[in-house]
């Protein structure tokens, strides 16, 4: 393409922006380098100033050290000590006067007696330049500096803390920062006979520090507590004595617990005004290191960088004008050509929004605009064709998904409802069946459970794919579970002439393990059914072992002598409806959903599935899933067990049952058969509304589908309109998530009849008893459902044991044991607010008769109903 037709050459805006960016970047780098140079130079200045200040301080200390040493050893002092007289006194007076007149910084010199009182022997003061001998001599024995100075050895000198001079406990005016230097005086026997003390006025030193600091930086002298000993602002000094309590740490936001506190070197500080400071810390020890003060040189960074900031501000102002001019020129230049592509961009925008566009695109141009117009025109035609095809496919896919969902919902309802009746009636058969019929009923139950497992395979597969299925761990006797599966399919194996072997590790026979019995049954059942499908003769083996302490690994292996799988197809067994051979049909026609569900459920357990096979010789499937041993006691065989009866209700209650399945109607009628319960059953919503209006039931039990139509919305309307004023229990074949129901009391078919009875009696019993308050249990365990379920299970066991003990004690009349069990129960009474139990429990065992014991049993029966119902509710919440 000819360069003169290129639109790229016309967009100088890019280069303008590049130039502007380069100028800004250069200005930034120059400013950064200048700041670094200024900062380095400033640090040198600060360090130099600190060194001068340090030299001034130590020069003053050296000067006074030399002076006091000379004075203490002078013949005049010595003569006065050994041979005191008026003459020696006059000589000392003259010596002290000359010293104060010639030393600007000395404003007081004293000679103190070395006894405990520390009485002043001679004292000279300098006031307003005049040296005066004081006649008002004081005792300094209680002063800190005297107590410390008296401890100084011969040849040593004492230096006090720096503070304001005080007379008679009152700060002297004008304020005089003072340093006291002392030297002990000894006689010929090296006994301390006096203390020579010189008071030094530090104001001249402070003026010198002001001059060294200059205008840019500030010096501070502080002690270890952060008190200002020197500051350019004299009002900040000696805050503890002046009661102003100004502190360096507080002013500059310094953490006193920091390990870097007052460490020599440079520090970055922030003041109360949010200003940043470059600070240099220097420790100044004196008095042989027994005293420490700190010299701090402070310089505000804005002052450091003042010139650089000024240059930067002026540069930025200039650059902004350059940028503005460049942008205006670029905008004008690009606007000339933007009109030429407006048609195309508008056409694309209209096409995106579905707006018809009548403008003719410039497809005849030879530059990029022409190429863009031609390309868009071709793309538009192709997109329209693809969108039409996608819309058609989407409509078909949505229709298929809708049909699938409707099919699964209908299947769920149609299959779960009869299964519910079969399983429920089977449970009831156990109660009245003679011993010889128990194996037949057990086989019927196993077959029903097997059929239920097949239903779960179909309905749970979609949940597995969508990640909606969860594992629910519970104590399980895995050996009994495997024996039930073996018994269920042994007859089918014998019919085909196959040998079905079962081998179970002894550890599994003697203990309970945490696992999901339903999902584990699905896994093993699918593997066994798959082996039966593809084995025409020979043997099928089911074996289980467990290894490892604590968190153990369960290994279940199913092997057969069937047709086998080609090695290349082993990895494809996870595909739904994968068929290796086309000559297998019907029940033996494919691997179907089974192995796919096995693989996905095993992964859900956190386990692995390994498959090995030889074509024509058989296959072996090994699943390994983690589990936890929770008991060494062998569990009872999974047959119906007796439990404590439901509470005996004294009132009469009406229950309305809405259901259109005859078998479920009969099952509910049998379950709720009681002299205290009047059960009305209907399969019509109109009759149900009439019964609600006229009879005011105490409880409503309802399905969610009548005549293949959902009744959710009508039930919710009745609740909102307050036509339903009693509890509502739902029993439906629909999954709770699919039913999209807000009801807590929800039972999915097939359901456990004992759980339903517990819920019904909990609701009806609330008219006669006060239900336990579980709020403390939920709060104590942070609403952690698995933990709460364990607590509820322990409570159920404890209450059963308490009731047994109470009945035994009621017969033995043992007051000591009675008080012991009352003591144990009081914690539960307070925690769960068991007011009914508190009322029926007498203090004395002698007060218990048959009526009282029956009342206690009845209260406990109600509480156990509530605990079991609460566990059932939590298990449902945890599975949603």
Q: Are residues 450 and 591 in the same domain?
A: yes
pLDDT value at 865 more than 60: yes
Dist. CA 476–CA 768, nearest whole Å:
36
pLDDT value of position 563:
84
Closest CA to 120 of 184, 57, 196, 55: 196
Query: For the chain, how many structural domains are there in total?
Result: 3
Sign of CA dihedral 729, 735, 736, 741: negative
Q: Does residue 145 fall inside a structural domain? A: no
586 vs 550, higher pLDDT? 550
pLDDT value of position 1:
41
pLDDT value at 161 more than 60: yes
Give residue 627's region: left, alpha or beta (phi > 0; psi -120 to 50): beta
**Could you tell me the two tokens for 688?**
């149900």
Element spanning 620, H or E = strand 618-631
Contact 704, 741 (CB under 8 A): yes
Q: Please write down the HEC assignment for all residues of 463-504.
A: HHHHCCCCCCCEEECHHHHHHHHHHHHHHHHHHCCEEEEEEE
**Could you tell me the two tokens for 52?**
């001068």
Q: Is 530 exposed, middle or buried (0-12, 13-18, 19+ CB in 10 A)?
A: buried
Q: Does residue 276 fall inside a structural domain? A: yes
pLDDT value at 739 more than 80: no
Element spanning 54, H or E = helix 13-72
What is the Cα gyration radius of the chain? 50
Domain with 540, as residue range(s), is 433-631
Please give the model's pTM, rounded to 2 decimal places: 0.45
Tell how many helices (H) and how many strands (E) occur in the chain: 25, 28
Q: Does residue 841 fall inside a structural domain? A: yes
Supply the CATH number for residue 264's domain: 3.30.450.20
Choosing from 301, 320, 336, the residue where a domain stops is: 301
Q: Does residue 483 fall inside a structural domain? A: yes
510 vs 504, higher pLDDT? 504
Dist. CA 724–CA 762, nearest whole Å:
19
847 vs 345, higher pLDDT? 847
Mean pLDDT on 391-405? 80
Closest CA to 769 of 656, 861, 871, 841: 861
pLDDT band for 75, please (50, 70, 90 cuts).
confident
Q: Does residue 319 fall inside a structural domain? A: no
Dist. CA 832–CA 1, nearest whole Å:
88
Closest CA to 640 of 796, 499, 430, 824: 430
581-605 pLDDT per residue, tens: 444 333 333 444 567 778 888 888 8
487-499 pLDDT per residue, tens: 888 888 888 899 9
Mean pLDDT on 529-551? 86
369 Cβ neighbours under 8 A, 6+ residues apart:
7, 340, 341, 344, 362
pLDDT band for 295, please (50, 70, 90 cuts).
very high
Dist. CA 139–CA 386, nearest whole Å:
110
Averaged confidence pLDDT in the chain: 81
Mean pLDDT on 308-323? 72
pLDDT band for 880, please (50, 70, 90 cuts).
very low
Contact 340, 366 (CB under 8 A): no
pLDDT value at 311 more than 70: no
Long-range contacts of residues 279-284, Cβ cutoff 8 Å, at least 24 apart = 279/252, 280/43, 280/46, 280/47, 280/50, 282/50, 282/54, 284/54, 284/57, 284/58, 284/221
- Classify strands 653-658 and 699-702 as parallel, antiparallel or unpaired: parallel
Least confident residue range of 347-361, 389-403, 745-759: 347-361
The residue behind tokens 């700060």 is 171
813-847 pLDDT per residue, tens: 888 889 888 888 898 899 999 999 989 999 888 88
Mean pLDDT on 434-453? 70
Neighbours of 528 (CB within 10 A): 24
Choosing from 280, 301, 322, the residue where a domain stops is: 301
pLDDT value at 29 more than 90: no
pLDDT value at 660 more than 90: no
pLDDT value at 732 more than 60: yes
Q: Please write down the HEC assignment for all residues of 737-775.
A: HHHCCCCCCEEECCCCHHHHHHHHHHHHHCCCCCCCCCH
Element spanning 548, H or E = none
pLDDT value of position 571:
63
| DSSP state letter for 645 | P
Supply the CATH number for residue 516's domain: 3.30.565.10
pLDDT value of position 347:
75
Contact 590, 584 (CB under 8 A): yes
Least confident residue range of 145-159, 294-308, 321-335, 483-497: 321-335
pLDDT value of position 461:
58
Q: Does residue 540 fall inside a structural domain? A: yes
838 Cβ neighbours under 8 A, 6+ residues apart:
829
pLDDT value at 349 more than 80: no
Helix, strand, or coil (residue 565): coil
Contact 826, 770 (CB under 8 A): no
211-257 pLDDT per residue, tens: 988 877 889 999 988 899 999 888 889 988 888 888 888 888 887 77
Q: Does residue 485 fall inside a structural domain? A: yes
**Could you tell me the two tokens for 191?**
């006994």
Dist. CA 804–CA 422, nearest whole Å:
34
Contact 125, 136 (CB under 8 A): no
pLDDT value at 129 more than 60: yes
Contact 181, 159 (CB under 8 A): yes
Distances (CA, A) of 279 to 148, 218, 267: 34, 9, 5
DSSP per-residue letters across 394-419:
HHHHHHHHHHHHHHHHHHHHHHHHHH
pLDDT value of position 200:
94
pLDDT value of position 3:
43
- Classify strands 228-231 and 217-222 as parallel, antiparallel or unpaired: antiparallel
Dist. CA 602–CA 619, nearest whole Å:
18
Mean pLDDT on 524-538? 88
pLDDT value of position 638:
40
Dist. CA 417–CA 738, nearest whole Å:
16
Distances (CA, A) of 172 to 143, 169, 204, 207, 853: 16, 9, 17, 19, 92
pLDDT value of position 409:
60
pLDDT value of position 843:
87
Contact 489, 500 (CB under 8 A): yes
Choosing from 631, 656, 671, the residue where a domain stops is: 631
Element spanning 290, H or E = none
662 vs 833, higher pLDDT? 833
Helix, strand, or coil (residue 340): helix
pLDDT value at 453 more than 50: yes
- Classify strands 166-167 and 130-133 as parallel, antiparallel or unpaired: unpaired
pLDDT value of position 698:
92
- Classify strands 705-706 and 653-658 as parallel, antiparallel or unpaired: unpaired
Q: Does residue 851 fall inside a structural domain? A: yes
pLDDT value of position 361:
72
Helix, strand, or coil (residue 686): helix
Dist. CA 695–CA 725, nearest whole Å:
12
Helix, strand, or coil (residue 622): strand
Neighbours of 39 (CB within 10 A): 15
780-813 pLDDT per residue, tens: 888 888 788 888 888 988 998 988 888 888 888 8
pLDDT value at 177 more than 90: yes
């Amino acid at each position: 393409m000819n360069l003169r037709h290129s639109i790229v050459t016309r967009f100088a805006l890019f280069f303008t922006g590049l130039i502007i960016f380069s100028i800004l970047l250069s200005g930034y780098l120059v400013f950064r380098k200048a700041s670094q140079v200024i900062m380095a130079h400033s640090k040198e200045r600060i360090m130099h100033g600190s060194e001068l200040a340090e030299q001034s301080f130590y020069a003053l200390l050296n000067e006074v050290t030399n002076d006091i040493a000379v004075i203490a050893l002078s013949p005049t002092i010595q003569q006065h000590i050994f041979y005191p007289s008026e003459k020696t006194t006059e000589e000392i007076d003259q010596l002290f006067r000359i010293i104060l007149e010639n030393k600007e910084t000395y404003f007081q010199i004293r000679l103190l007696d070395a006894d405990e009182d520390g009485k002043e022997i001679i004292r000279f003061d300098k006031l307003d330049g005049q040296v005066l001998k004081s006649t008002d001599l004081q005792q300094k024995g209680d002063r800190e500096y005297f107590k410390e100075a008296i401890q100084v050895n011969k040849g040593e000198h004492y230096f006090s803390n720096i503070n304001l001079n005080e007379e008679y406990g009152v700060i002297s005016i004008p304020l005089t920062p003072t340093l006291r230097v002392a030297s002990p005086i000894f006689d010929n026997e090296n006994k301390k006979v006096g203390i020579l003390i010189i008071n030094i006025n530090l104001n001249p030193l402070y003026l010198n520090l002001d001059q060294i600091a200059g205008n840019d930086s500030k010096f501070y002298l502080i002690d270890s507590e952060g008190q200002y000993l020197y500051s350019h602002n004299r009002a900040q000094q000696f805050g503890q004595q002046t009661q102003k309590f100004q502190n360096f740490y507080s002013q500059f936001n310094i953490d006193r617990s920091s390990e870097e506190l007052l460490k020599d070197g440079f520090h970055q500080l922030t003041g109360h005004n949010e200003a940043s400071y470059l600070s240099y810390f220097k420790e100044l020890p004196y008095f042989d290191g027994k005293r420490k003060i700190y010299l701090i040189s402070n310089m505000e960074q804005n002052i450091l960088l003042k010139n650089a900031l000024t240059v930067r501000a002026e540069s930025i102002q200039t650059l902004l004008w350059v940028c503005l001019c460049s942008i205006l020129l670029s905008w004008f230049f690009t606007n000339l050509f933007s009109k030429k592509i407006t048609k195309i961009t508008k056409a694309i925008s209209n096409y995106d929004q579905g707006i018809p566009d009548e403008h003719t695109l410039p497809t005849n141009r030879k530059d990029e605009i022409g190429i863009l117009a031609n390309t868009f025109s071709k793309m538009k035609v192709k997109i329209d064709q693809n969108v039409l095809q996608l819309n058609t496919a989407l409509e078909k896919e949505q229709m298929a998904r809708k049909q699938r969902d409707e099919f699964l919902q209908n299947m769920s309802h149609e299959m779960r409802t009869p299964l519910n009746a079969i399983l429920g009636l089977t449970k009831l058969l156990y109660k009245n069946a003679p011993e010889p019929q128990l194996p037949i009923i057990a086989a019927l139950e196993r077959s029903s459970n097997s059929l239920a497992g097949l239903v779960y395979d179909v309905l749970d597969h979609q949940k597995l794919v969508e990640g909606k299925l969860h594992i629910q761990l519970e104590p399980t006797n895995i050996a009994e579970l495997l024996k039930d599966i073996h018994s269920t399919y042994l007859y089918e194996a014998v019919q085909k002439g196959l040998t079905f072997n079962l081998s179970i590790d002894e550890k599994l026979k003697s203990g309970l393990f945490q696992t999901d019995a339903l999902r584990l049954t699905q896994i093993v059942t699918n593997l066994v059914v798959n082996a039966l499908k593809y084995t025409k003769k020979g043997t099928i083996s089911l074996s289980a072992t467990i290894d490892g302490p604590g968190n153990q690994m369960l290994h279940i292996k199913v092997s057969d002598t069937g047709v086998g799988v080609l090695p290349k197809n082993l990895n494809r067994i996870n595909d739904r409806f994968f068929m290796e051979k086309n000559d297998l049909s019907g029940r033996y026609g494919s691997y179907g959903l089974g192995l796919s569900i096995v693989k996905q459920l095993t992964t859900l357990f956190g386990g692995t599935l390994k498959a090995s096979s030889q074509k024509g010789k058989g296959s072996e499937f090994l699943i390994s899933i983690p589990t936890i041993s929770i008991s060494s006691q062998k569990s009872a065989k999974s047959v119906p067990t007796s439990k404590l009866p439901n509470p005996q209700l004294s009132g009469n209650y009406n229950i309305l049952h809405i259901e259109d399945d005859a078998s479920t109607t009969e099952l509910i009628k049998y379950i709720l058969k009681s002299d205290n319960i009047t059960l009305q059953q209907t399969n019509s919503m109109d009759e149900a509304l009439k019964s609600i209006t006229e009879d005011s039931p105490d409880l409503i039990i309802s399905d969610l589908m009548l005549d293949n139509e959902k009744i959710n919305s009508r039930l919710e309307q009745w609740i909102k309109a307050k036509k339903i004023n009693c509890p509502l229990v739902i029993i439906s074949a629909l999954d709770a998530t699919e039913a999209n129901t807000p009801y807590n009391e929800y039972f999915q078919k097939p359901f456990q009849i004992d759980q339903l009875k517990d819920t019904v009696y909990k609701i009806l019993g609330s008219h006669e008893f006060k239900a336990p308050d579980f709020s403390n249990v939920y709060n104590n365990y942070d609403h952690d459902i698995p933990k709460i379920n364990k607590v509820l299970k322990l409570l159920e066991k404890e209450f059963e044991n308490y009731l047994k003990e109470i009945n035994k004690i009621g017969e033995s009349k043992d007051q000591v044991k009675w008080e012991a069990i009352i003591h144990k129960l009081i914690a539960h009474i307070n925690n769960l607010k068991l007011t009914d139990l508190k009322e029926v429990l007498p203090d004395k065992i002698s007060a218990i008769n048959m009526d009282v014991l029956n009342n206690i049993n009845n209260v406990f029966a109600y509480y156990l109903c509530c605990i079991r119902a609460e566990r059932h509710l939590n298990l449902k919440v945890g599975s949603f």
